Structure 1
């Protein structure tokens, strides 16, 4: 795991809404698949070197998302960006890139204190050394999602490499918890036909976000709190991180905005498990 490389990729990936939406729909019109080779299958394999690119989906934070739940299974062409069906005054908190023994336990502790459930999109290579944290997430009632194995830019990888990234993570989660994830989030919010189709084959629904806290830029605790406060609304899915860099601001911000959301009448829930 190389947090520095990941941060640089994220900084290089921020673009305007129009360009990002064109990327998201390119696969729907039959654009060629990315052909860059993915990482080797071994657990010690290094993630591929990627050039800075324009794939962070700013539209997820800029506009009210359409109702993607009308998409027909088995393969969706858009991720869920909000969850209004969970009930009025309900929001969803999500955390990416973990589990990390430095920050995940603190986030779990805060959620436990307020009896709140969240979604954790985990990277397989982080799970291998932090299996107890994964069990703790499950035991506390949180939803575990698949966030790939090494957090690569999937749209730059071959279909076989994408499948390997997603399958290995589902398998290690199943090995630890006895069941596979039912949700998947593409690293950097970069989706294409491969990720949707392979996710569906593995029994997972695609989850995006409505509100990006941009906590990975370490903008300051108060800035993160303000973004959540200003973006709070029924159905909103909040994106934060519990790994991938220094997440001390994310930890501190959660301690501040979570009780405020609850006091304001919001319910923090997770989608129910599919049978």
Structure 2
């Protein structure tokens, strides 16, 4: 009877040990999946940047339109914002060469938003490569050099998109704070969406014609964020310390 009791105690201890090990293994996997990484490529493969460490990065997507980009540029100059990153589609840059060059000459960083405004996550690998290559050709013709950043046109991407971008020498950049300005929810809502941003965040705005209220929201946003950190380009954000990268399937 005593021997049976000892065996049960040992068996209970063994089961408890298995449960504890399983728990800590699950915690470890979760921690690894949400941890920050100091590089774009890890042993698991390339990843997309969505947050930095020092500075606040304002980013503006422009995929189409003739009316909103120039006023937003003017407003940024008026607000003395000297660092921001504009992700431009190749088709827009091709149609607006003077404005593209102005963005560049003002000292703002330029990244690639593909050529056509299409969902990369729904394309075959060669289609993604062709679209990116077409955009790269446009910027080369405009003599805008040293572009190293890509943003998926619709914000949707997968591991294949990141792999292709990296093979072409580019890093995929996502965002950590979305202003949702393209939905035109009102300037107060856009400001409220952006205000929680803090040191290290990458904010998403638009300067396409669909974003009708962005310019009016910028003064309050800029005033609020200036107290939290310096405005930097994405490249400066990367250089300022570790970056966080997004896991994709």
Residue in 2 that maps onto 1:189: 155
* CA displacement at 1:144 relative to structure 2: 0.6
Instruction: Specify the alignment match of 1:144 in structure 2.
Output: 110
Unaligned stretches of 5+ residues in structure 2:
1-33, 239-249
Residue 69 (structure 1) aligned to one of 15, 38, 44: 38
Q: Who is 2:234 aligned against?
A: 271
Aligned to 1:36: none
User: Which protein has the larger Cα radius of gyration, Structure 1 or Structure 2?
Assistant: 2
Deviations 1:25-64 (A, max 9, x none): xxxxxxxxxxxxxxxxxxxxxxxxxxxxxxxxxxxxxxxx
2:84–2:233 CA contact under 8 A, matched in 1: yes
- State the partner residue of 2:222: 258
Encode CA deviations 1:91-148: one digit per residue, 9 max, x unaligned.
1000112464311111111222214211111111111110111101111111111111
**Over the residues paired in the alignment, what is the CA RMSD in angstroms?**
2.2
User: Which one of the candidate residues 202, 206, 212 is aligned to 1:241?
Assistant: 206
TM-score normalised to structure 1 length: 0.68
Aligned length: 203
Shift of 1:158: 1.4
1:132-177 per-residue CA deviation (whole Å, 9 max, x = no partner) reads 1110111111111111111111121111111111111111112113
Mapped partners of 1:72, 1:157: distance in 2: 23
Q: Say whether the 8 Å CA contact 1:224–1:253 is kept in structure 2.
A: yes
Q: Which runs of 5+ in 1 are unaligned?
A: 1-64
Pairwise CA distance, 1:215:
1.1
Change (3 A) 1:74 1:107: farther
Name the TM-score, length of structure 2 as normaliser.
0.75
More strand by share: 2
The equivalent of 2:18 in structure 1 is: none
